[in-house]
Amino acid sequence: MSASVEEADLRTLACDARETVLRAVANARGGHLGGPLSAVDLLIALYFGVLRIRPEEPTWPERDRFVLSKGHSSVALYAVMALRGYFPLEEVMTFDAINSRLQGHPDMTALPGLDMSTGSLGLGFSAGVGIALGAQLKGSGFTTFVMLGDGECNEGTVWEGAHVAHRYRLDNLVAVVDQNGLQQFGWLDPSTGRRVPPYVGAELADRWRAFGWRVLEADGHDLRTLPAVLQDAREGSGAPTVVVARTVKGKGVSFMEGDYSWHSRVPTSDELARALGEIDVTRRTPERVP
Ligand SMILES: Cc1ncc(C[n+]2csc(CCOP(=O)(O)OP(=O)(O)O)c2C)c(N)n1
């Protein structure tokens, strides 16, 4: 079932997850960092405060479903699943190895506990809509949560799925958008040389609203408030709900934050040591809001 964990513990768990993400990508010499680090707090809030799951019984029929549609952030999901007890934390160090269950993009045929294989942006969300529709038709009581990136919301399939979810009044479906304002490269603003966010200001929330969704907005790093917002999201009635969560790409490591070039860069050993040092300071400073 959902674990009841204090906010201070959630923050420690988030530090543990960030450390694991950094070590796993450095060890694999490949993978993504910016998107996984922006998603960590949302994943911690979901897995430790919201999802009704049984890690020891991953196929429990009544479990809430979770689909990481931004599948390139798999390493963060693996870190959080391991911390929640699905498998040993050490296994995350096999990330992306040829025979590992923990592939660069989630493979549900390899790892129990995954509800969908993802990686092609937009498709995981559509699958989540289908899972929720199936549950509605069968009268099943679980909620389906799907996490997307804001860059991913450029995909046409996202809006086709959003349309269908509203058409069938899927109030058992919650989308969580990790709105970190950056994608892989994105669009360049030639006048400033800076990257233009996929959606500016309230534009993204307004679009979901225009598609008939109930919209909740949140600080995607505030573990004091996130569990309650995500809990509220599952209480929708008559409409699907989206949580548009403001986040920072590369969150937790100062020299990665807000820099799109860390989307999928591997840290040098010096950069890794500096990054882990920063995570450690955050872990040992309980009053510091990361
Ligand atoms: C259909 C498809 N096109 C392109 C890619 C390559 N790709 C992987 S991640 C990414 C950027 C995604 O941006 P966003 O959704 O904002 O993710 P985040 O910033 O959270 O990492 C792209 C283009 C892909 N995985 N799937």
Q: What is the pLDDT of residues 143-191, one digit of tens each?
A: 999 999 999 999 999 999 999 999 999 999 999 999 999 999 988 999 9
For the Cβ of 11 lying below 6 angstroms from any atom of ligand 1, the answer is no
**Tokens 């990054």 sit at which residue?**
275
For the Cβ of 115 lying below 6 angstroms from any atom of ligand 1, the answer is no
Mutate to test the pocket of ligand 1, among 41, 43, 68, 72 (most ligand atoms within 8 A of CB): 72
- For the record, the structure tokens of 267 come out as 């840290």
Q: Which of 177, 236, 241 is nearest to 214 (CA)?
A: 241
> Where do runs of H (alpha helix) occur along the chain?
7-28, 34-49, 74-84, 123-138, 156-167, 203-210, 226-233, 269-284
Q: What is the pLDDT of residue 35?
A: 98
Dihedral pair phi/psi, residue 193, rounded to 5°: 75, 5
Architecture in CATH of 7-284: 3-Layer(aba) Sandwich (3.40)
pLDDT of 279 above 90: yes
Q: What is the pLDDT of residue 243?
A: 98
pLDDT of 288 above 90: no
Per the confidence metrics, is the pTM higher than 0.75? yes
Q: What is the pLDDT of residue 289?
A: 55
- For the record, the structure tokens of 108 come out as 């549900």
The CA distance from 90 to 260, in Å, is 29
The CA distance from 226 to 256, in Å, is 23
Q: Percentage of residues in the chain with pLDDT exceeding 90?
A: 91
Residue 215's H or E segment, with its range, is: strand 214-219
Q: What is the pLDDT of residue 81?
A: 98
Q: Please count the CA atoms within 13 angstroms of the CA of 31 that sit on its side-chain side.
A: 32
